[in-house]
Chain A
């Protein structure tokens, strides 16, 4: 805390150099396949779109992280498990009732879950170090994984969103061969935009939203002017639960509801590092960068790497996001849009 404050004042420009360099390398990597002629424009755009779509999902999970971190300083490792739990709930309820009712019921269940989490986990741990809370959410994620599957079963379930499956051809006048795009991907992107818009309105315009922002700014000050912290936490975990439902439904509708959701959702961690722990736009943009980055790396960087080092297959996308986040941590620990108050030694 001591050193970082001085660093910004004395050498703001110097600090920017590594970040700018890293971003430049990323951008160069993004356009390299096009410029070197390694890929046709149409294929490149398809990969880009695929990455953006994956990125939307990461963004949605990351959004839940950021909301909770902003309001309570808890690094919610269980967000992925919450997405799995929400998706399982919707999928299994939708077998017995219409989808909209299932989603409403799932929202009610997530609110109850938020209340229970606040009562049983957060309240007893108030004032503990951040790391203890992180481990508590680790335990929570194990519990939710097990509980969801005990309650709803552990097969692969599907959620039928009622959207036609066959892809649509767009831009066939601009690019030769056109680009194939899935309708459910478009729907997902639209829903994500709507969700972020609603959240922004909720945060900016409602009294509760203002209270949430106050708590995020300063716990003690908020409490001293009479904002009930416990209720705020319930609200924020409920909102995170709702974003988990949205992410879970979109994800489940696309790939089926299964245990791996919980693991893949861990990728939201590098996303929030990249975007900044406290920034909602950061979560969205970070998600898109990671989504595009790892798809591009897998498609264009993978094959040459496999050839050069004689690897037994690609799979770069398994670690690309994490290593990118690691690099960002070294040059800009607060992320692209985060607030700078990181303790340094």
Chain B
């Protein structure tokens, strides 16, 4: 009843093309942002920050990155955690070797380095696609894993191969308490979401989508596949590189080799399948789902009073993950984002039947 666009007339193209055309959506979004920026930092507990909110924000960023490539451009990748690793190690080395740099500059540079590496591994996509590309990106995953575990320069000759970082400082603001980390990450995520959303609906994103839907037709109407695919790999790896740097510096603080392994890559892929391919909002849903599911599965037996060993819980988690992936692919290939859109459609009519 409250949620409908009756009487909201657009008189300019600008108004017609805005990101949230319905007034209620804009109000809701502003309220949500205000809640996330003002209320949550004071209300949430440290546990909530450290084990849910912070991982969620970073993984959502990575999932948006992967979604730009897989969901928008249709190029599958099973190796995106490797690009997160590139971002993390690039940021580590930049901070170590050029301490004068501002952390924001480090973030952008780390993202750019990851983008460069991503474009190199994206080159096979110009000749192959689908299943073949999956194996090509697996090569990236295993090779980059090995590189950071073995080449001592990247880890500053540390004995165990693991690296540790000091808390991030930004214009004299020391980001070390959980609420501060949360606010910083949230700000970064908001900026990158806006960027991604606009990129996806601008000409770059349209070129990606045309390539995804039918590459030959896209070429016929004047889109250069080389350009579309490599920009998708570049932008996507940039996002993952930034997410990797944040994951290392803000979330982990110290990490071992193989912190960015195949499992993380697959998890990113699952996020966008469950959340919704080709949807920025879906990346958020997927990330939230994948972050919360293991925690829920760990807690649930305790609430129900059923004793469950940790090993058993992790096996059950595997089973439920697997079953859910298949379930979503069969029942709702467009993921949670589609369910959300359906719900919104329903809400516009509610409580009237037509």
Which residues in A have some Cβ–Cβ distance to B below 8 Å?
2, 75, 120-121, 124-125, 128-132, 134-136, 138-147, 149-150, 154, 263, 266, 269-270, 273, 277, 309-316, 318-319, 322-323, 325-326, 329-330, 333, 342-345
Contacts and interface: CB of A to CB of B under 8 A. Distances in A.
Given A322-B139, A329-B135, A344 B316 contact: no
Nearest to A155: B311
A150 B269 CA distance: 24
Contacts of B32: none
B22 interface: no
18 contacts: A75-B131, A128-B333, A129-B130, A130-B131, A139-B323, A139-B324, A139-B325, A143-B321, A147-B318, A150-B315, A266-B138, A310-B152, A312-B151, A318-B146, A326-B136, A329-B136, A330-B124, A345-B126
B347 to A, nearest CB: 29
A270 B143 CA distance: 13
A interface majority secondary structure: helix
B330 A125 contact: yes
A186 B212 CA distance: 48
Interface string B33-53: 000000000000000000000
B128 A145 contact: no
Given A310-B152, A315-B150, A329 B127 contact: yes
Interface of B: 74, 76, 124, 126-132, 134-136, 138-139, 142-143, 145-146, 149-152, 161, 211, 215-216, 219, 225, 262, 266, 269, 273, 311-312, 315-326, 329-330, 333
A343 B150 contact: no
Contact of A345 (B219, B269, B312): B219
Contact of A322 (B143, B152, B161, B322): B143
Given A139-B323, A146-B321, A273-B135, 18 more contacts: A75-B134, A131-B130, A134-B76, A139-B322, A140-B322, A142-B319, A142-B322, A145-B322, A149-B318, A312-B149, A312-B161, A315-B146, A315-B149, A329-B132, A329-B135, A342-B128, A344-B128, A345-B215
A343 B324 CA distance: 31
B interface majority secondary structure: helix
A5 to B, nearest CB: 13
Contact of A145 (B131, B318, B330): B318
A56 B286 CA distance: 40
B273 A134 contact: no
B136 A142 contact: no
B152 A138 contact: no
Contacts of A129: 130
B128 A325 contact: no
A268 to B, nearest CB: 10
Contact of B139 (A309, A325, A343): A325
